[in-house]
Structure 1
Amino acid sequence: MLHLIAVICILSAPVYSDSGSHSLWVFATFLTGDVSVPFPEFTAVVSLDDIVIGHYDSDESRFVQKTQDDSVNVTEQLTISTVCKGIHEGMKTKAYYLIDYFNYTIGLHVQQRLVGCELHRHEPGKMMTLEAFNGESGFERHYEIQGDQHTQWKWPVIKSRAQLEYDAWLYAHFYRPLCISQLKKYLKKEKKRVTARVKPRLRVIEQSNSDTGVVQVTCLATGFYPRHINLTLLRDGQPINEERVMGGELLPNGDGTYQMRKSVELSAEEQREKHSYTCTVIHLSLDNKLDISIEPGPDPVIVIPSVLLLLLLCAFGALASFKIWRKMYKPASQQVSYIPTSEADET
């Protein structure tokens, strides 16, 4: 399972889509050896950006669609199923060859592949394939927008020159156009979901160590969509050295949004130096970046974002003004005239 986790981290990193681009990816896994977990030998997940479109596995041998569109396109299902079957056979052949080449004998062996394409502002973009075996990447292929194709091998090449040339031609003239056409279809179906924007909530957490005097400051951005976010810790307006920053992994929430946190430890001496610290976030849902000023100290403090503080001050000001106006301009029906008792008796 450690191999599986490592490979997922390796292959998931390149998946990216900015505000003007979208991508379609197939993430495939082939398992062999001592498989003690109840997984199919081969599985493939198809995703539009970070939305799961459907899945395929070797037990069912068919593509199962998972979209908001209830209609089932039989031709589309057969096409994707055929592609997944081809990926399955290719990965199986390569996995067995690598097991023999590296002289592996026992244990679970994991062969995984990430392949996909991109659209940049409705124009075909690059296509990419990455492969890893037992936690180590060994093959990359990139087909750029300009038509240039680059292939990098770390593993031994098991095909003839003619076979490699045919694979390269097939990649450029069949798989890439097929991927682009499927990407356009799913974009049309899932337009509302892929264009959704949810703003992040930003929070600062401080934890003090009474023994060492060290304060750990954590910036947490959560509840945002899409997944791409820039979360930065600044000291005196400059990014803190990445070697000191802990965390930074993108994690899913249960509601389809995402979260990310980054932390830094500040010594007692750094706290006395009175540096200014800031947690800043840049996200597609925000018109401007979101900042929180941090004042680290030995005791936890509540930090309020400057925008929220301004809104609170405006609210209190408006409430005070309303009370003064109400006091000065009471309706006549609510005004009471006081007449002394003696004067009332005289009348």
Structure 2
Amino acid sequence: MFYLIFVVYMLSAPHAVFSESGSHSLWVFATFLTGDSSVPFPFPEFTAVIMLDDIVIGHYNADERNFVSATTQETVNVTEQVTISTVCKGIHAGMKTKAYYLIDYLNYTRGLHVQQRLVGCDLLRDEPGRMMTLEAFNGESGFERRYTVQGEQQTHWKWPVIKSRAQLEYDAWLYAHFYRPLCISQLRKYLTKEKKRVMARVKPRVRVIKRYCRETDVVQMTCLATGFYPRHINLTLLQDGQPVNEERVTGGELLPNPDGTYQMRKSVELSAEEQREKHTYTCTVTHLSLDNKLDISIEPGPDPVIVIPSVLLLLCVFGLIIAAFTIWRRKYSQPEQIIYIPASADNQTTEQQQL
């Protein structure tokens, strides 16, 4: 259940959460649940999922306080187990303290409350990149910390600060000199382990879909790219060689396929007047798996429809039936031939009788 929540959250999060094309990232998505004990819910209090790019590496079991690998059959070594477990324990304790404080501060009393934290780092062309922490409580963002490639640290609070100045300075030092190097180190290790999966390249299948509305005489043109991996893709609708105004374009969300690949579609509607103006429309796609940009031309008007009268259609069907019956009758109505061979070896005559 929490894997699904995590994937949906990652796909719907701002693009700043994703690593850029050509880079790789390691993320921990943690969820802390608390609320009225009289309201039962079948989930653990704390869950943490670790992901390399969009591949689930494993999860932290809060009940047993250990890391469970999801990608390799080999046993997790002691160092990796202790490292990830220690980090997750710290996240658990920090989120628990903050959750109870926010419940009092926001004057929440009953019901289930959900705190989420997303923390991770990336490598940009094998060089240490950014690190980021995002936090939300009951679906509302309240804290953000970013460590840039240049070494600058930026922190934004929406919730009241509950730590002293000395504690905040220590947290900033720990973030820059312990957590970021540790995250980069683990990211490099997982890239070595999962290189084959991470470096996979699957080309997108691209097609154009047109829907015509007779009542309004409007044509909806949709460009669909599906089955591609990795997730980074640039899909654009062009009019006369220029991108269509974004206000007119619908869709554009990155969605997962059941086989681990992704899909994306974008649509634009054309009025009857725009169809008569004879503009040229193009669906253009660029992806890491493609050597060159893929362009597909789109005819703006509705597709021609060939209408066959019902009577003519019936005549065609009956004609095919009659033709098939005639062939069958000719094949099986020939008289059967029986060949008699005399029993006597001296008589070499062969007789044929038609019945």
The structural deviation recorded for 1:156 is: 0.8
The runs of 5 or more residues in structure 1 that have no matched partner are: 302-347
Distance (whole Å) between structure 1 residues aligned to residue 232 and residue 66 of structure 2? 31
Distance (whole Å) between structure 1 residues aligned to residue 103 and residue 12 of structure 2? 20
Counterpart in the other structure of 2:33: 31
Matched, 1:244 2:248: yes
Counterpart in the other structure of 2:138: 134
Larger deviation, residues 169-178 vs 99-108 = 99-108
Q: Given residue 97 of structure 2, which amino acid in structure 1 is its aligned partner?
A: T
Counterpart in the other structure of 1:289: 293
Matched, 1:122 2:126: yes
Matched, 1:56 2:60: yes
TM-score by length of 2: 0.79
Q: What percentage of aligned pairs have identical amino acids?
A: 80
SS in 1 for 2:79: helix
CA offset digits 1:155-194 (Å, max 9, x no partner): 1111110110010011111111111111111011011111
SS in 2 for 1:243: helix
Distance (whole Å) between structure 2 residues aligned to residue 37 and residue 299 of structure 1? 53
Counterpart in the other structure of 1:269: 273
Q: Given residue 119 of structure 1, which amino acid in structure 2 is its aligned partner?
A: L
CA offset digits 1:78-136 (Å, max 9, x no partner): 21011111111111111221122122233332211111111122221121111112222
Distance (whole Å) between structure 1 residues aligned to residue 87 and residue 17 of structure 2? 20
SS in 2 for 1:180: helix
SS in 1 for 2:246: coil
Counterpart in the other structure of 1:331: none
Counterpart in the other structure of 1:168: 172
SS in 1 for 2:150: coil
Q: Given residue 34 of structure 2, which amino acid in structure 1 is its aligned partner?
A: T
The structural deviation recorded for 1:11 is: 4.3
The structural deviation recorded for 1:242 is: 1.3
Residues 11 and 113 in structure 1, CA contact (< 8 A), matched pair in contact too: no
Equivalent position to 1:22, from 21, 24, 47: 24
Change (3 A) 1:61 1:47: same
SS in 2 for 1:126: strand
Change (3 A) 1:97 1:8: farther
Residues 21 and 232 in structure 2, CA contact (< 8 A), matched pair in contact too: no
Larger deviation, residues 25-34 vs 287-296 = 25-34
- Divergent runs of 4+, >4 A: 4-12, 34-37
Residues 11 and 255 in structure 2, CA contact (< 8 A), matched pair in contact too: no
Q: Given residue 31 of structure 2, which amino acid in structure 1 is its aligned partner?
A: T
Q: Which has the higher contact order (CA 8 A, sep 6+)?
A: 1
The runs of 5 or more residues in structure 2 that have no matched partner are: 306-355
Q: Given residue 250 of structure 2, which amino acid in structure 1 is its aligned partner?
A: M
The structural deviation recorded for 1:7 is: 6.0
Q: Given residue 33 of structure 1, which amino acid in structure 2 is its aligned partner?
A: G
Pairs within 5 Å for 1:28-177: 28-33=30-35, 37-68=41-72, 70-177=74-181
Distance (whole Å) between structure 1 residues aligned to residue 112 and residue 10 of structure 2? 15
**Which has more radius of gyration?**
2
Residues 208 and 300 in structure 1, CA contact (< 8 A), matched pair in contact too: no
Counterpart in the other structure of 1:188: 192
Residues 147 and 154 in structure 2, CA contact (< 8 A), matched pair in contact too: yes
The structural deviation recorded for 1:22 is: 1.2
CA offset digits 1:283-334 (Å, max 9, x no partner): 1111111111111223379xxxxxxxxxxxxxxxxxxxxxxxxxxxxxxxxx
TM-score by length of 1: 0.81
Once superposed, what is the RMSD of the aligned Cα atoms? 2.2
The structural deviation recorded for 1:69 is: 5.0
Larger deviation, residues 181-190 vs 95-104 = 95-104
Q: Given residue 29 of structure 2, which amino acid in structure 1 is its aligned partner?
A: F
Change (3 A) 1:276 1:37: farther
SS in 2 for 1:46: strand
- Counting matched residue pairs gives 299
Residues 7 and 132 in structure 1, CA contact (< 8 A), matched pair in contact too: no
